[in-house]
Structure 1
Amino acid sequence: MNGSSFCHTQPSTWINNDDIIAIQWIYMICNSFISMLIAFFLSTLINYYQLKKFKSIIESLTEQSMNNSIKNTEVTKNKTIETLSNFMPFKPYQSFYINQATSPITLDELIIEAERTYKFTIYPYDDMLLDMHYLQIELVQQSSSIIITIEFFSGYNVLFPQIEELFSIVFHASKMIQIWGELNTYRTEYLFYHNHNEDDTIKSHIVNIQPAFKTWYNSTFVHNANCGQLLDFNDIDGPLCSCSHRPYKCRNDQWSLEDASAYTYHEILDNNKIHDPHRCLAITKLSIVIHEKWDRHKVQQYIKENHTSRDDLGHFDLSCDDPSRDNLGCGELGHSDLSCDYPSRDNLGCGELSHFDLSCDDPSHDNPSRGDLGCDEPGRDGLGCDDPDRDDLGCGDLSTNH
């Protein structure tokens, strides 16, 4: 019995040992798998935080680099502004401000001047904070200019008929109007009082100087020899351009009036003055450069003669002792100090505005060299677009407009 019992229980002992070994193997495999999962999880977690930290460092460095770049750009810009001279018009000018208190006599005299003028330059001003709107009109004449700043006011005023008459003369189809930018950016709704028709303005001969300047500037100040944007067949603006004298890097970019004056003449326009008359004068000045087809040498010569040779770049030094300044007048530029004591000034007239009109009826004005006095004869406008040299402003055929 005892032997039989021993033989019966022995196989059961061996089975239990096999199970234990199998369980141990399974346990070891599970532990290894779990350890691998834990290691993988920890590795992934560590990599995630390392990557996040790395990205944070990159973003911080990028932001710091951008801030430094912006600071450097601002410093460079400020230094550049400091080296610029105040804007200097080619000609002396008279300035008039038209508001509700203006004398009707002044408007009558300005209307007479507008009738005798062919070419005008206009520039709008908007003071959105005060909801005030202005239009600046330059009467471009042979030896000088007249700047009229008109304040637009609501309600009726006794000056409205005269202002309407002035607008009807300026925007007549026989006149030439220079602007900077597209007309739709000028907010023309402020140009119209009671009787002025918007269609009359649209029919006016309006010349946008802005794209003409871009064409002239790019052909005059070409890419540097090592510029990545340089192409044999085209001198366009592009993202590969590294030229410091060409600030715009897209072929569709258009120049601001401030940049055009700064890069061409090294002159700055004051943005802080709402009624700054230099805006119209700057457009006119750039149009003259385009008309006369200035080359790079002539531009640099102008800068050398008018700015870099001066001790004080912030002031105008138009001494009457310098023969090259004779056509600019004496005294402080920006004011009509056309002294009759100076012989070459006699043709400009002195005293009241009615004598400043450069009238074509005056025999003393028959000098052909003074043909572009804005008279009724189209051929005397000084901008005859039938002249091939004038095609660079997009003039077309003006003969039908007169």
Structure 2
Amino acid sequence: MAQTNKTKTFSIYTERCDELNTVISIQIELVQTEQKESMVLYFELLHLPDPNTFLFVLIRALINIIFHTSKRILVWSQANKEDLQILVLYAYLSKSTLDETYIIVLQGPFKQWYIKTFKHHKNCNVPSFDLQDASCCICPYRPYKNFNDQWTLEKAIQYVFQEFIYPPNGNPIVYQQINISHVYCCLAITKLLMVVELDWTIEHLYQFKKFHQE
């Protein structure tokens, strides 16, 4: 609780089950740049405590600290943002509190950073001054070929940092791996926020990778 109070920025990843048509888990990373290790809170929404228990009250207090107006929330997509309505449905947050929370959807700003940083190659059918994605683009480092395409979180972290998040296959045998995959998604949002906010160049990325691979 003390760490949550001190933290100003949180990255949140939500996981939805299409078969149940509901959000089944929420991962919340406490973004603390001064710490070497990350702290991630994992909420399983299919196994929530009874509203009359102390545990419910404790979780609600924790969530209300995170969604305070003085805090900043990062999500990847608009769908992830809409998933947070589940916290209102289960009475962990009031609708007014959620509406007043400063929530940043990173998907759009990331796309703008990427197309500005990774311009079309000189041999591409699209001129380098045209930053937008196009169907005639042949650049291998620009996977999307349509103006309206939106980056998935998995592709974003793969193309920028050459890191891979493997989607869970729903097999209960690999339950632990599924949890780890969801946590990695949360950490990926924070990592991509860094390059967007600091407006990293290709040289910055090269130096970062060189430092962390040595």
Q: What's the TM-score bracket when you normalise by the shorter of the two chains?
A: 0.7 to 0.9
Aligned to 2:31: 140
Tell whether the 8 Å contact from 2:115 to 2:131 is kept in structure 1 after alignment. Answer: yes
Cα distance in 2 for partners of 1:253, 1:132 equals 24
Aligned to 1:163: 59
SS in 1 for 2:124: coil
TM-score by length of 1: 0.46
Candidates 228, 245, 262, aligned match of 2:125: 228
Q: Percent identity?
A: 34
Aligned to 2:10: 120
Gaps of 5+ in 1: 1-110, 310-402
For the pair 1:303 / 2:209, whether they are aligned, the reply is yes
SS in 2 for 1:159: helix
Q: CA deviation at 1:133?
A: 1.0
Aligned pairs, number: 197
SS in 2 for 1:177: strand
**Which residue type is aligned with residue 235 of structure 1?**
L
Candidates 123, 138, 157, aligned match of 1:261: 157
Per-residue Cα deviation, 1:154-205 (whole angstroms, up to 9, x for no partner): 5434311111111111111110011101156542332233352122112111
Cα distance in 2 for partners of 1:168, 1:162 equals 10
Tell whether the 8 Å contact from 2:64 to 2:92 is kept in structure 1 after alignment. Answer: no
SS in 1 for 2:178: coil
Tell whether the 8 Å contact from 1:229 to 1:239 is kept in structure 2 after alignment. Answer: no
For the pair 1:218 / 2:115, whether they are aligned, the reply is yes
Candidates 159, 178, 188, aligned match of 1:274: 178
Cα distance in 1 for partners of 2:85, 2:101 equals 16
Q: CA deviation at 1:146?
A: 1.1
Q: Following superposition of structure 1 onto structure 2, how do residues 153-192 of structure 1 map, counting pairs within 5 Å?
A: 153=47, 155-156=50-51, 157-182=53-78, 186-192=82-88
Aligned to 2:100: 203
Per-residue Cα deviation, 1:323-350 (whole angstroms, up to 9, x for no partner): xxxxxxxxxxxxxxxxxxxxxxxxxxxx
**Which residue type is aligned with residue 201 of structure 2?**
D
Candidates 192, 195, 199, aligned match of 1:293: 199
Q: CA deviation at 1:129?
A: 5.5
Per-residue Cα deviation, 1:367-388 (whole angstroms, up to 9, x for no partner): xxxxxxxxxxxxxxxxxxxxxx
Aligned to 1:52: none
Greater CA radius of gyration, 1 or 2?
Answer: 1
Q: CA deviation at 1:305?
A: 4.4
Q: Following superposition of structure 1 onto structure 2, how do residues 276-355 of structure 1 map, counting pairs within 5 Å?
A: 276=180, 277-307=183-213
Cα distance in 2 for partners of 1:186, 1:170 equals 17
Gaps of 5+ in 2: 169-176
TM-score by length of 2: 0.83
Per-residue Cα deviation, 1:267-296 (whole angstroms, up to 9, x for no partner): 111323332211111100011111222111
RMSD, aligned CA:
2.2
> Would you tell me which structure has more helix in proportion to its own residues?
1
Tell whether the 8 Å contact from 2:72 to 2:103 is kept in structure 1 after alignment. Answer: yes
Change (3 A) 1:205 1:240: same
